[in-house]
Amino acid sequence: MIAVDGFSKYYGNFAAVRELDFRVKAGEVLGLVGPNGAGKTTTLRCISGIIPATAGNLQIAGINIADDPVAAKRQLAFFADEPRLFDHLTVQQHLNFSARIYQVEEYEERAQQLLEQMELVDKRDQLPAELSRGMKQKLVIACGLLHSPSVLFFDEPLTGLDPLGIRRMKQTIKRLASEKGAAIILSSHLLGLLEEVCTHVLIMKKGEKVALGPLNEVVQQYSNGDSGVSLEEVFLRATGGSED
Amino acid sequence: MAVMRALLYLRLMMVRNVLIAFLRRMRQPRYLFGLAMALAYFWLVFFKRPNQLPPMQAENSDSFELTAAFFLSVVAMGIWLLPGDKPSLRFSEAEVSFLFPAPLKRSQLIHYKLVTGMLSGLLGALFFTLLSARFTSGSGQSLRLAGGWWFLLNIISLHDTGAAFTLVRLGTGKAVVWLRRGGVAALMLLFVILVGYLIVHQQTQTLHKLLAPARFLVQPFFASGLAYVRSMAFLLLLFAVHYWWVLRMETPFEEASMALASKRAEVLAKMRAGKSVRIAGKARPRREPFVLRPRMPVELVLLWKNLMLLPPYLNRRVFVASALVIGFGMRWLRHEGGYAGQAAAGTFGMIALILMGYMLLFAPQVVRNDVRSDLAQGDLMKAWPLPGWRIVLGSLLAPVLVMSALAWLFLLTAATGIQAEGKLTPWLTLELKASLAACAAIAMPVLSALLLIGPNAIALYFPAWSQTGMSSQRGFDAMGLRLLLMAGQLILLLVTLLPPILLAMLVFYLSQWFASQTVGMVLATVAGLLVLLLEILYAIHLLGERFEQLDIGAELRQ
């Protein structure tokens, strides 16, 4: 579903990401972790075609994002860390607009389902200024799921959510992977979340891959023979716990 | 096509919702009244022509055309001078979030941005048309001007984008950028010198030829009949060429656009929060205005906090240095500058007095680090174990200090610049000048406090109308309301000043029986200031009570 080969991103002489290779298959959830400035957000943005990569072959559902960005983007949804909405569009109009931009035929029923799932039905005529942060986040997710993407990117998805919202978000991510067979990359500093929902993990530092593989294998790799080692401990051992 | 329909839907819905929100607001009489005020203001400014202007003389028209063409040429060259290494298109954060990961071609994104830019250009064209229509006459002029302005503004905007895209393709290395900037700057200088030379030597024909490309662009403003149609056809062609040029450039703009969107969102959030917007420079820790001590009165603690929030250049050292420069500078002018120096010093003194008047009038609207900015932390401040009047008093001290310091500098300039018993001021004895300056200097902090009470009272009594630290009302109607509030504030000021002025006049009159004019003036000032001070303290007490009762969240939701 997601294939990344030899991916690099440079800003002038500065390498934000260097020579990254990995795969995410259908139904897998890859947790992207690393200290601040490791290149996680840059990686997500490049793979989702928001910004161009400097080098490498990035494929979404078998489509090269550089060669045919439109076709590749039809398969994906990107959720930024902050819910950024149009000030003057209502909840329903955000969904209408998303359906049109992704050319989703007869979306009304699906939009209604998503509004119900996200508990936004009674907010459909409200503007973003009238919504709480958690509701805004839910609206962004509803808009992103409207075209039934097979590849999803989440950048810090739990920021600002209440406990119930966090539980729902985790359930949504798990359900999308297990029931819908979506390939998901999730970037977060909340290692507890990754332990709960991820099948695989990629640890980055200063733009380079430090560890990659199924969660249990990476944990095993850094356990040094200890039992019951947490992902937090693995992260600290793999990265040294700092940006440098 | 479906995608463009989706983008059109986005724009239409946004415009529709903005209009609905505007109409809803009009249900409240205060906003309807505000709209009426704003419309009346615009009518007075833009539409009420004192007299029908006579047709422009041919030679005047030619001069105007050449001047406009000259400035347009400079702008065009500046467009090639300024761009850095990251070209961007103006997207909002929401547009970045929804459109960049969406299945859109880059050309569709550019189309969308260019078309929305053109629609926004309509507002710009309308504004400039209203402005320039005051200086023209004849039927159908407004439409003619509007067309010209719309094309001109859009061509400049497209040229700007096209140049930025092209320059990135030519190279973004530091050496290339500075070489290009040097070259363009040299060309601009040469152009300005050449134009100056041609004007001085009255070589009009050559000047016309030199400015010919830009003259074509401004011709719709000066031509009529067939010449106007021809010039508009030329603009249309130029516009189409520019559009094609921008669209053809395969330059990545996404990253710079995202950075720009994020920066604009940050600036907008700051503006909405009533905070100062400083684009350049990195935030650095500030030098403390004075040392905080554990048992310091809370008013001074609030003064310390608000002084820390001032721009870095407003500090004690700058004030002292300015005072020294003014003092020694004026002395040098008066004693070493001869007759011209004395005249210049006198002029500076008079200008300083005028500027002080303007400063006192407008500074309360600009220096806002008082209750207005503190309302953003209103809930926190209300949780402090303090009566409201002490918080209000403490919040007012910083702007009072800033305004007083500025006024003292102006007074110093006036006192050292205006000559005692000079030709224009024979009545101004040295003693009278000194006592006038001293009285004014003593009065400044009290007067500044009085001037600041009004805007702060409005912020506390009508937070939804006023631009407080938490939010600001925007729109045509809100602008009208602000005009109304400013007028009300002026009336309030006059009413408040009346008792102290009357008392001061009485004291001055009575003191003449037993004291000199100077002593009388000092006594009158002290008496007037005492009344003013009592008024201010009472006002602060009232504002404190209001602060304690205020539910800022509920007020702003109205």
Q: Is the pLDDT of residue B473 over 70?
A: no
What pLDDT score does B138 carry? 57
CB-defined contacts A:B, below 8 A: 89
Higher pLDDT, A4 or B168: A4
Given pLDDT bands bounded at 50, 70 and 90, which one contains residue B558? very low
Candidate from A96-110, B469-483, B486-500 with smallest mean pLDDT? B469-483
Q: Where are the alpha helices (DSSP H) in chain A?
A: 40-47, 69-74, 91-101, 108-117, 133-145, 163-178, 191-197, 215-222, 231-239
pLDDT digits (tens, 9 = 90+) for B25-43: 788 777 788 788 878 877 7
DSSP B465: T
- Amino acid B172 reads T
**Token pair of A136, please?**
């805004």
Bridge partners (DSSP) of residue A204 are: A209
Residues within 8 A of B (CB atoms), A 171-210 only: none
Task: Answer for the pair A12, B84: CB distance below 8 angstroms, yes or no.
Answer: no
| Domain parsing of chain B, residue ranges | 57-272, 298-557
CA distance B402 to B404: 5
Structural domain boundaries in chain A? 2-75+149-239, 87-147
- How do residues B172-185 score in pLDDT, each as one tens digit? 677 777 888 888 89
Strand, helix or coil at A141? Answer: helix
Q: Do A88 and B96 touch (CB under 8 A)?
A: no
pLDDT score at A185: 95
Mean pLDDT of chain B: 82
Chosen from B100, B251, B268 to mutate, greatest number of chain A CBs within 10 A: B100
At CB < 8 A and 24+ separation, what contacts does A159-162 make?
Answer: A159/A81, A159/A82, A160/A133, A160/A134, A161/A133, A161/A134, A161/A137, A162/A134
Which A residues in the span 42-101 are in contact with B, Cβ-Cβ below 8 Å? 48-52, 69-74, 76-78, 80, 82, 84-90, 93, 96-98, 100-101
Minimal Cα distance from A85: which residue of B? B94
Cα B125 to Cα B147: distance, rounded to the nearest angstrom: 8
Least CB-CB distance to A52: which of B5, B14, B252? Answer: B252
**Domain spanning A2-75+149-239: CATH superfamily:** P-loop containing nucleotide triphosphate hydrolases (3.40.50.300)
Query: Residue B328: what pLDDT?
Result: 92
Its ipTM equals 0.78
pLDDT value of residue B468: 47
* Dihedral sign from CA coordinates of A195, A197, A202, A205: negative
| Rounded-to-integer distance, Cα B498 and Cα B121, Å | 49
Query: With contact defined as beta carbons under 8 Å apart, do A99 and A146 qualify?
Result: yes
Residue B271 CA to residue B267 CA, distance in Å, equals: 6
Contacts of A86 in chain B (CB under 8 A): 10, 14, 92, 94-95, 98
Mean per-residue pLDDT, A87-114: 89
Inter-chain CB proximity B94 and A87 less than 8 Å: yes
H or E segment to which residue B311 belongs: none
| Total count of residues recorded for chain A | 244
> Average pLDDT, stretch B161-171?
82
Tens of pLDDT, residue by residue over B329-382, are 998 888 887 777 788 888 889 999 999 999 988 888 888 888 888 777 777 777
Are A85 and A128 contacting, i.e. CB atoms less than 8 angstroms apart?
Answer: yes
Q: In this structure, are residues B334 and B341 in contact, taking their beta carbons and an 8 Å threshold?
A: yes
Taking an 8 Å cut-off on Cβ atoms, the answer to whether A143 and B7 are in contact is no
